Structure formats: C-alpha cells, structure tokens
Structure 1
C-alpha cells in the first residue's frame, strides 16, 4: 500500500502581516500573521508562502480560500469555517480547533501534527497525500481519501458514511465508534482494530455471533 508523498518546502523571509491585509480577499504572499487576537476572515483569498503563528481567532474563516506552501502554528479557533478551502503543501502544528467545517475542501501534500479538533468535517473533501500525527478528534468525518496516514491519533467517533478510501492507513487512529462501516473499504487496519469491529462487520454481513 503506497505511503503519502509529502513535498518539502522552505519559506522565504516574510514581512509582517496585518488584519488590514485581508481586505478585498485577494492575492497575499510572503507575509507572517502573528499574535492576532481577533476574528480572521479571508474567504476566497489566495495565500502563498505565508505563515500563521499564535493566532487566537474566535472565528477563523477561510471558505474557498487557497493556501499554497503555508505554515500554521499555535492557531486557536473555536470556530473554523473552511468549506471549499484548498490546501496545497501546508504544515499545521500545535493548534486547536473547535467546530472545524472543511466540507468540500481539497488537501494535497498536507501534514497536521500535534493538533486537537472538536469536530473535523471532511465530507465531500478530497484528501491526497496527507499525514495526521499525534492528533485528537472528538469526531472525524472523512471524505474521499488517497494515501492518507494516521500516526498516534485518536477519535471518539470515526464517521465514514460518505468516505471513499484508497491506501488509507488507519492503524495509527484509535477510534471508539465507527459510523458507516462500509466506508472503510480500501483502508488498512490492525488486527486489534479488526477485533473491535467484529460485531459491526458481522451485523453488516448478516452473521450472528454466538458466545
């Protein structure tokens, strides 16, 4: 099963960015947004070679935005509105999100590390070459996933009702409940995870387990 292919990048020297730079939601490049404690709204903007550090945004809105070779570090947002966002070569780390709506988004060569999510909605999303490392979710709702790996992650609920998986490594995702068991087709799981899913799989196949 092929592993995710993560492209490396190095950010150039960055100028300081301000909330006012977001006006008009145009093309924004080589800026560092740091220490902002306010709503951050940049729907439909295009960010290229930018960083977002130590942001405390009650609402972070990036609907239909595009992030190319960007880093997000220590970002806190109880509400993340990211439907339709495009993430290309993005690194996200040590961040915390409450309700994170990324429905119909596109993720390509993305690493998410040491992050916590309340609900991450990826329904209708397309993920290709993505790694989640040491992340925690209350609920994770997956969409179409190709070469996606979880390492040292956990979720209370894994929703796969609308998922389509190809080369998805779930061995590193500890899940308590799975909704939509058939959506796991194409994923790789451990023997221990298989044991936990035995009753659901048997029920789906119309089998009865006797003890």
Structure 2
C-alpha cells in the first residue's frame, strides 16, 4: 500500500498461542445453558440440537463433533481448539471467541452475527454461508479454507488476513476495515461491497480482476 509516495506497512494479525493442559473427557449427556466447561475434551460426540446458550468453554478441545442446529448463542470460547467439527445451522450469534483455532471444519449456515473474534485462526475446511454480519474481528487469520458466500455486512475488521483461502461471493457491504490483507487469497470474488475496501490491501492482479466492479461503483464507463 502506497500513501503520500511512501510504502506503508500492513500490520500483521496476532495469532493465538495455545498450550492446552491435559484434558479430561467430558462425561456429560447434554450441554447446559450458562454451563461452565474448563479443561475438557469433547470428542466424536453428537451435539446436534443441544442448548449451550451463554456457556463458557475455557482450555477445551472440541474434536470431530456434530454441531447441527446447536444453540451456542452468546457462548464464550476461550483458549480452545475446534477440530474437524461439522454441522449446519450452528448458532453462535453474539458469541465471543478469543485465542481459538478452528481447524478443518465442515460447516454451513453458521450464525456468528454480532460475535466478537479476537486472535482466531480458521485453518482448512469449508464453511458455506457464514454469517458474520455486524461482528467484530480483530487479529483473525483465514488460512487455506474455502468460504462460500460469507456475509461480513456491517462488520468491523482489524488486522484480518486471508491466506491461500477461497472467498467466493463474499459480501463486504458496509464493512469497516483496517489492515485487512487480501493479497494472498487464492480466490477473491466480491459479490457486494467493493466500495468498502478502504483499509484493505490487495495485489496488482486482484486490482485488475476487480477493475470492472470498481469502475461500475465509480460510475465510469469503459468503452473500447
């Protein structure tokens, strides 16, 4: 990024530094609203449809669990790993994720609107129709994953990186960005919100690909 003739650096996202303790297997039957889970491993479980609204997960690992329609609104997930989770319609609206790794997830229609993500890495996997409307993302890295029609409408993105991931049909409408690095996105398809890219950094090749949308936004006609 060049400003006033000088090269401006892009602030890198701070990644989580997870050091999970020895974990005990969770032996409960169902999640509980406002439950408190500390130092536990949830492995190969069917948590579909369970209600953990407002629950707190601290130093936990959730591995290969089904999360279809799980109710985790306003949950707090701290210093934890979610690995190989799958499901459709998981509700994490208004949740808080801090120092979290989400690895090889297969999710669809995840509701994270109004959520807060800080020092989060999303690595590998595929997430369809991710709803991050009006969420706040700070120090978040999307790495080697596929995001199909993610919705960032009205969100705030600060120090967010997209590395070797595919953004297909992304909605950036009304997004506020600061130090958002899109240069290494393997695919960058912006369906809406190209006018909200102030504060983002893109590559020359991406600028070429986005030129028609940018010209349209500015009301510029390109005539051969």
Q: TM-score range by the shorter chain?
A: over 0.9
The 1:17–1:198 alpha-carbon spacing in structure 2 relative to 1, beyond 3 Å, is same
After superposition, the CA RMSD in angstroms is 1.4
C-alpha separation between the residues in 2 aligned to 1:155 and 1:20?
37
Provide the rounded CA distance (Å) in 2 between the counterparts of 1:67 and 1:132.
18
Match of 2:114 in 1: 104
Question: Is residue 169 of structure 2 the alignment partner of residue 160 of structure 1?
Answer: no
Point out the more displaced range, 98-107 or 11-20. 11-20
Does structure 2 conserve the Cα–Cα contact (< 8 Å) formed by 1:6 and 1:129? yes
SS at match of 1:68: strand
Residue 15 of structure 1 contacts residue 31 of structure 1 at CA under 8 Å; is this kept in 2? yes
The C-alpha deviation readout for 1:48-89, integer Å capped at 9, x for no partner, is 101101102322321100011010001011221111010010
The aligned residue for residue 185 of structure 1 is 198
Secondary structure of the structure 2 residue equivalent to 1:87: strand
Question: Contact conserved, 1:124 with 1:162, CA < 8 A, in 2?
Answer: no
Q: 1:49 aligns with which of 35, 41, 59?
A: 59
Residues 59-78 of structure 1: matches in 2 within 5 Å?
59-78=69-88
1:195 has 2:205 as partner: no
Structure-1 residue corresponding to 2:95:
85
Q: Per-residue deviation at 1:158? A: 1.2
SS of the equivalent of 1:168 reads strand
If the length of structure 1 is used for normalisation, what is the TM-score?
A: 0.95
72-81 or 201-210: which moved more?
201-210
Count of aligned pairs between the two proteins: 211
Match of 2:43 in 1: 34
Contact 1:11–1:50 (CA under 8 A) maintained in structure 2: yes
Cα separation, 2, equivalents of 1:105 and 1:57: 18
Residue ranges of structure 2 left out of the alignment (5+ in a row):
1-9
Give the TM-score, by structure 2 length: 0.90
Q: 8 Å contact 1:123–1:162 — kept in the other structure?
A: no
1:134-161 per-residue CA deviation (whole Å, 9 max, x = no partner) reads 1101111222100000111112211011
